[in-house]
Amino acid sequence: MTLMETERVTVTPLRYSIQPRRRGRSSTGCLFVAGYALLLLAFGIFPTGYSFYLATTNDRGQFTGLNQFVKVGRDYRFDPAFTHMLIYLILWLITLVVLVVLSAVVLRSRVRPKTSVLLRFLYYLPGALSGVASVLVWLFMLDPDVSPVSWLLHSMGLDTFAAVLSPGNLPLVLMVIAFWTGAGGWMVVMYGALNNIPDEVMEAARMDGAGLWRTAWHIQIPMIRQWIAYMTILAFAAGTQLFVEPQLLQTASLGRVSPTWSPNQLAYVYAFQQGDFNGAAAISVVLLLVGLSAAGLLITRSNLFKLDKE
């Protein structure tokens, strides 16, 4: 038997033994993805498509183009609702990004590991409460008559519950509630992202004489900017869906808060009080387009899905 024949005999079985393994890995991956894909179709893509259908037709199913969007855009409640949401989003995103990143940097660089673990656990605890429960907690915290920090509210000139929930204060109140419930989980995520920075990089910064803030600004924050963008996208999406908090505050304040304070509340009024599901779908589609536009801008600016070259 020649050398060429020997190589033919030994190589051929290896060729056929590798292929089934690849097919096995591929089928396993498809099996894991299939469940998520089905749920995405059932509760994501199909409802979105149905919303577009409702937003471009009337109650008889006739195609009307952009008429539903024009109708809700002319509603006197439309502009205030989106203005309220915009003010809330600005306050919420700035506070979230600045305080979460700052807290994660301090915990990573200046706090002992055991103390850091305890603080991260305490920060995360409020996130275990659902939106409804957190609002109920804050209803007591914001009532000057029963609040444990009533002295602080009185010092700010907020002597009644109605004064606390005045239209000018409501974006700030909702931002505080959102930060209290959502910031702790993101602190844990940012802390984990900072842990991925190689120790050699941090040691080089210390040897060059860089302090905490210079290291954070020039090294740590740029190296976790993709995580910051990811947090901002999800926080923005959650902010556009604001409904539970203002709805409960509206009920608790006996009507002092507008029932159409946020776009989602306005869509709820259209659908379940006026019976206009087509108009409600148009508002939902506008919110979807706003969220997708903001996400696309952040993704392109931050290179969120850019693969690192080996």
Q: Tell me: the pLDDT tens digits for 107-130?
A: 887 777 778 778 777 787 777 766
Res 310: pLDDT: 44
Res 135: pLDDT: 76
Residue 194 clears pLDDT 70, i.e. is over it: yes
- Long-range residue pairs from 172-175, CB within 8 A, at least 24 positions apart, any chain: 172/91, 173/138, 173/142, 173/249, 174/88, 174/92, 174/242, 174/245, 174/246, 174/249, 175/88, 175/91, 175/92, 175/95
- DSSP-derived 3-state class of residue 304: coil
Q: Mean pLDDT: which of 5-19, 122-136, 168-182 is highest?
A: 168-182
- The model's pLDDT over 223-239, given as tens digits with 9 standing for 90+, comes to 898 899 999 999 999 89
221: its two tokens = 């924050």
Res 6: pLDDT: 43
Q: 67-78: b or e for each residue (b if 16 or more CB lie within 10 Å)? A: ebbebbeebebb
- The model's pLDDT over 236-261, given as tens digits with 9 standing for 90+, comes to 998 998 898 888 888 887 778 889 99
Query: Which percentage of the chain shows pLDDT scores above 90?
Result: 34
Residue 25 clears pLDDT 80, i.e. is over it: no
Q: 35-61: b or e for each residue (b if 16 or more CB lie within 10 Å)? A: eeeeeeeeeeeeeeeebeebbbbeeee
Stretch among 86-90, 139-143, 238-242 having the lowest mean pLDDT = 139-143
Residue 277 clears pLDDT 90, i.e. is over it: yes
Nearest to 86 by CA among 307, 269, 204, 263: 263
Residue 191 clears pLDDT 80, i.e. is over it: yes
Res 129: pLDDT: 66
Whether 101 contacts 184, CB under 8 Å: no
Does the domain formed by 72-302 have CATH 3.40.50.300?
no
Q: How far is CA 126 from CA 180, 239, 290, in A?
A: 6, 18, 29
Name the band, by pLDDT with cuts 50, 70 and 90, for residue 21: low
Res 233: pLDDT: 92
Res 23: pLDDT: 56
d(CA 113, CA 107): 8
Whether 181 contacts 126, CB under 8 Å: yes
Name the band, by pLDDT with cuts 50, 70 and 90, for residue 12: very low
Please provide the average confidence, as pLDDT, over all residues in the chain: 83
Domain boundaries, the chain: 1-46, 72-302
More confident residue, 280 or 5: 280
278: its two tokens = 């087509």
Sign of the dihedral through C-alpha 8, 14, 16, 18: negative
Res 130: pLDDT: 62
More confident residue, 152 or 95: 95
d(CA 135, CA 150): 17
Res 22: pLDDT: 54
Res 158: pLDDT: 85
Q: Mean pLDDT: which of 4-8, 219-223, 277-281 is highest?
A: 277-281
CB atoms within 10 A of CB 181: 21
DSSP line for 77-117: THHHHHHHHHHHHHHHHHHHHHHHHHHHHHHHHHS-HHHHH
